[in-house]
Amino acid sequence: MRATMILAATVAVGGLFVLVAPSHSAYATDYTFTTLDVPGGNNTATYGVNDAGQIVGSFASNSGTGVHGFLYSGGVFTQIDVPGGTYTEAFGINNAGQIVGWYQVDGSGQFGFVDTGGSFSQIQFGPTYTIAHGINDPGAIVGYWNDVLGQHGFLDNGGTITTLDVTVPGASNTRAYGINNSGQIVGTFSGGHGFLYSGGVLTQIDFPGSYGSTQVFGVNDLGWS
Protein backbone atom coordinates (compact mmCIF):
# COMPACT_ATOMS: atom_id res chain seq x y z
CA MET A 1 0.00 0.00 0.00
CA ARG A 2 1.31 3.46 -0.85
CA ALA A 3 0.39 6.78 0.60
CA THR A 4 1.49 10.38 0.33
CA MET A 5 3.09 12.77 2.78
CA ILE A 6 2.69 16.45 3.51
CA LEU A 7 6.13 18.04 3.01
CA ALA A 8 6.99 21.31 4.69
CA ALA A 9 10.11 21.69 2.56
CA THR A 10 11.60 19.99 -0.46
CA VAL A 11 14.51 17.68 0.35
CA ALA A 12 16.17 15.42 -2.18
CA VAL A 13 16.33 11.87 -0.90
CA GLY A 14 17.15 8.97 -3.13
CA GLY A 15 17.50 5.24 -3.28
CA LEU A 16 15.43 2.25 -4.17
CA PHE A 17 13.94 -0.01 -1.51
CA VAL A 18 13.32 -3.65 -2.25
CA LEU A 19 11.85 -5.84 0.45
CA VAL A 20 13.79 -9.09 0.29
CA ALA A 21 13.39 -12.27 2.28
CA PRO A 22 17.00 -13.51 2.48
CA SER A 23 17.76 -17.18 2.84
CA HIS A 24 18.65 -18.60 6.22
CA SER A 25 22.25 -19.00 5.05
CA ALA A 26 22.56 -15.22 4.89
CA TYR A 27 22.65 -15.12 8.67
CA ALA A 28 25.23 -16.42 11.12
CA THR A 29 23.98 -19.25 13.26
CA ASP A 30 26.17 -18.55 16.29
CA TYR A 31 25.87 -15.41 18.38
CA THR A 32 27.66 -14.01 21.40
CA PHE A 33 25.48 -12.07 23.80
CA THR A 34 26.93 -9.44 26.11
CA THR A 35 24.94 -7.97 28.99
CA LEU A 36 25.42 -4.24 29.45
CA ASP A 37 24.71 -2.72 32.84
CA VAL A 38 25.90 0.79 33.58
CA PRO A 39 27.83 0.75 36.88
CA GLY A 40 25.84 2.46 39.60
CA GLY A 41 22.68 2.33 37.53
CA ASN A 42 19.67 0.19 36.80
CA ASN A 43 17.22 -0.31 33.95
CA THR A 44 19.97 0.03 31.35
CA ALA A 45 18.44 0.32 27.86
CA THR A 46 20.41 0.26 24.58
CA TYR A 47 19.02 2.05 21.53
CA GLY A 48 21.68 2.69 18.89
CA VAL A 49 24.98 1.30 17.61
CA ASN A 50 27.41 2.37 14.88
CA ASP A 51 29.86 0.40 12.73
CA ALA A 52 32.63 0.79 15.32
CA GLY A 53 30.47 -0.95 17.94
CA GLN A 54 29.81 2.21 19.95
CA ILE A 55 26.47 1.91 21.74
CA VAL A 56 24.17 4.57 23.16
CA GLY A 57 21.21 4.30 25.49
CA SER A 58 19.96 5.35 28.90
CA PHE A 59 19.93 4.22 32.51
CA ALA A 60 18.39 5.19 35.83
CA SER A 61 20.78 6.20 38.58
CA ASN A 62 20.80 4.19 41.80
CA SER A 63 21.59 7.41 43.66
CA GLY A 64 18.24 8.89 42.69
CA THR A 65 19.59 11.55 40.35
CA GLY A 66 17.24 10.57 37.54
CA VAL A 67 17.68 9.15 34.05
CA HIS A 68 20.88 9.69 32.08
CA GLY A 69 22.13 8.86 28.61
CA PHE A 70 25.30 6.89 28.06
CA LEU A 71 27.90 6.02 25.46
CA TYR A 72 29.58 2.62 25.62
CA SER A 73 32.83 2.60 23.66
CA GLY A 74 35.86 0.34 23.98
CA GLY A 75 34.50 -1.23 27.15
CA VAL A 76 34.01 2.14 28.86
CA PHE A 77 30.72 3.79 29.84
CA THR A 78 30.49 7.57 29.56
CA GLN A 79 27.47 9.31 31.08
CA ILE A 80 25.64 11.79 28.86
CA ASP A 81 23.73 14.69 30.42
CA VAL A 82 22.63 17.69 28.41
CA PRO A 83 23.63 20.80 30.39
CA GLY A 84 20.61 22.17 32.23
CA GLY A 85 18.60 19.02 31.64
CA THR A 86 17.03 16.88 34.36
CA TYR A 87 16.46 13.80 32.17
CA THR A 88 18.51 12.65 29.17
CA GLU A 89 18.16 9.69 26.78
CA ALA A 90 20.48 8.93 23.85
CA PHE A 91 18.85 7.15 20.90
CA GLY A 92 21.14 7.23 17.87
CA ILE A 93 24.82 7.44 16.93
CA ASN A 94 26.48 7.70 13.52
CA ASN A 95 29.94 6.61 12.41
CA ALA A 96 31.34 10.07 13.17
CA GLY A 97 30.28 9.61 16.80
CA GLN A 98 27.49 12.21 16.70
CA ILE A 99 24.74 11.31 19.16
CA VAL A 100 21.07 12.31 19.13
CA GLY A 101 18.32 11.97 21.69
CA TRP A 102 16.14 14.08 23.92
CA TYR A 103 16.27 15.79 27.28
CA GLN A 104 13.91 17.43 29.71
CA VAL A 105 14.15 20.78 31.44
CA ASP A 106 11.75 20.98 34.38
CA GLY A 107 9.21 23.70 33.83
CA SER A 108 10.42 24.43 30.29
CA GLY A 109 9.74 21.38 28.16
CA GLN A 110 11.32 18.46 26.35
CA PHE A 111 13.79 18.98 23.53
CA GLY A 112 15.82 16.99 21.07
CA PHE A 113 19.60 17.30 20.98
CA VAL A 114 22.62 16.45 18.89
CA ASP A 115 25.94 15.89 20.67
CA THR A 116 28.99 16.51 18.49
CA GLY A 117 32.16 15.79 20.40
CA GLY A 118 30.64 16.96 23.68
CA SER A 119 29.09 20.10 22.17
CA PHE A 120 25.29 20.00 22.49
CA SER A 121 22.84 21.67 20.12
CA GLN A 122 19.12 21.85 20.91
CA ILE A 123 16.49 20.67 18.43
CA GLN A 124 12.99 22.10 18.91
CA PHE A 125 10.01 22.14 16.54
CA GLY A 126 6.82 21.52 18.49
CA PRO A 127 5.51 23.59 21.40
CA THR A 128 5.29 20.58 23.71
CA TYR A 129 8.19 18.28 22.93
CA THR A 130 10.68 17.22 20.27
CA ILE A 131 12.56 13.93 20.15
CA ALA A 132 15.56 13.29 17.89
CA HIS A 133 15.78 9.57 17.23
CA GLY A 134 18.15 8.78 14.36
CA ILE A 135 21.16 10.28 12.57
CA ASN A 136 23.04 9.13 9.47
CA ASP A 137 26.69 9.64 8.56
CA PRO A 138 26.09 12.89 6.60
CA GLY A 139 24.40 14.24 9.76
CA ALA A 140 20.74 14.20 8.68
CA ILE A 141 18.51 13.78 11.75
CA VAL A 142 15.03 12.27 12.06
CA GLY A 143 12.56 12.19 14.92
CA TYR A 144 9.16 13.57 15.82
CA TRP A 145 7.51 16.50 17.54
CA ASN A 146 4.14 17.11 19.14
CA ASP A 147 1.39 19.73 18.94
CA VAL A 148 -2.35 19.81 19.63
CA LEU A 149 -2.98 17.74 16.47
CA GLY A 150 -0.67 14.90 17.50
CA GLN A 151 2.82 13.77 16.60
CA HIS A 152 4.66 14.66 13.41
CA GLY A 153 7.78 13.08 11.99
CA PHE A 154 10.60 15.34 10.84
CA LEU A 155 13.79 15.29 8.79
CA ASP A 156 16.45 17.88 9.61
CA ASN A 157 18.91 17.82 6.72
CA GLY A 158 21.54 20.47 7.40
CA GLY A 159 18.93 22.90 8.65
CA THR A 160 16.39 22.16 5.89
CA ILE A 161 13.34 20.83 7.70
CA THR A 162 10.84 18.43 6.20
CA THR A 163 7.70 17.52 8.13
CA LEU A 164 6.65 13.91 7.61
CA ASP A 165 2.95 13.19 8.10
CA VAL A 166 1.41 9.97 6.83
CA THR A 167 -1.87 10.91 5.13
CA VAL A 168 -3.70 7.63 4.57
CA PRO A 169 -7.27 7.76 5.96
CA GLY A 170 -7.29 7.60 9.73
CA ALA A 171 -3.52 8.00 10.07
CA SER A 172 -2.05 10.25 12.73
CA ASN A 173 0.90 10.40 15.11
CA THR A 174 3.71 9.85 12.61
CA ARG A 175 7.08 9.04 14.19
CA ALA A 176 10.33 8.87 12.23
CA TYR A 177 12.88 6.60 13.93
CA GLY A 178 15.71 5.73 11.56
CA ILE A 179 17.55 7.04 8.48
CA ASN A 180 20.28 5.45 6.36
CA ASN A 181 23.04 7.10 4.34
CA SER A 182 20.84 7.16 1.22
CA GLY A 183 18.22 9.22 3.06
CA GLN A 184 15.66 6.42 3.34
CA ILE A 185 13.56 6.93 6.47
CA VAL A 186 11.55 4.44 8.54
CA GLY A 187 9.09 4.86 11.35
CA THR A 188 5.54 4.21 12.49
CA PHE A 189 2.11 5.80 12.42
CA SER A 190 -1.12 5.28 14.32
CA GLY A 191 -3.10 2.13 13.74
CA GLY A 192 -0.06 -0.09 14.25
CA HIS A 193 1.73 0.37 10.93
CA GLY A 194 5.33 0.94 9.92
CA PHE A 195 6.48 2.94 6.93
CA LEU A 196 9.42 3.45 4.60
CA TYR A 197 9.95 6.83 2.95
CA SER A 198 12.25 6.55 -0.07
CA GLY A 199 12.68 8.78 -3.09
CA GLY A 200 9.60 10.83 -2.25
CA VAL A 201 7.37 7.74 -1.97
CA LEU A 202 5.94 6.32 1.23
CA THR A 203 5.39 2.56 1.49
CA GLN A 204 3.33 1.16 4.34
CA ILE A 205 4.92 -1.81 6.15
CA ASP A 206 2.83 -4.45 7.90
CA PHE A 207 4.31 -7.77 8.96
CA PRO A 208 2.50 -10.55 7.05
CA GLY A 209 -0.21 -12.15 9.17
CA SER A 210 0.25 -9.69 11.99
CA TYR A 211 -2.83 -8.71 13.96
CA GLY A 212 -0.96 -6.32 16.22
CA SER A 213 1.46 -3.49 15.79
CA THR A 214 4.24 -3.28 13.21
CA GLN A 215 6.98 -0.88 14.30
CA VAL A 216 10.05 -0.11 12.19
CA PHE A 217 12.97 1.42 14.05
CA GLY A 218 15.95 1.15 11.71
CA VAL A 219 17.06 0.77 8.10
CA ASN A 220 20.53 -0.17 6.86
CA ASP A 221 22.34 1.08 3.78
CA LEU A 222 21.01 -1.85 1.74
CA GLY A 223 17.49 -0.67 2.43
CA TRP A 224 16.69 -3.54 4.82
CA SER A 225 14.35 -2.40 7.56
pLDDT in tens, 137-183: 999 999 999 998 899 999 999 989 999 999 887 788 999 999 999 99
Any domain includes 135:
yes
The total number of structural domains that make up the chain = 1
Any domain includes 220:
no
Q: Specify the pTM.
A: 0.84
Any domain includes 127:
yes
Distance CA 178, CA 55 (A): 15
Any domain includes 163:
yes
Return the beta strands (E) in 7-85 as ranges: 41-49, 55-61, 67-73, 76-80
User: Which residues sit opposite 111 in a β-bridge?
Assistant: 103
pLDDT in tens, 19-72: 333 444 455 567 889 999 999 999 999 999 999 999 999 999 998 889 999 999
Any domain includes 155:
yes
User: CATH number of the domain that 46 lies in?
Assistant: 2.120.10.60
Distance CA 42, CA 50 (A): 23
- Output the CA angle 176-193-135, nearest 5 degrees: 20
Any domain includes 28:
no
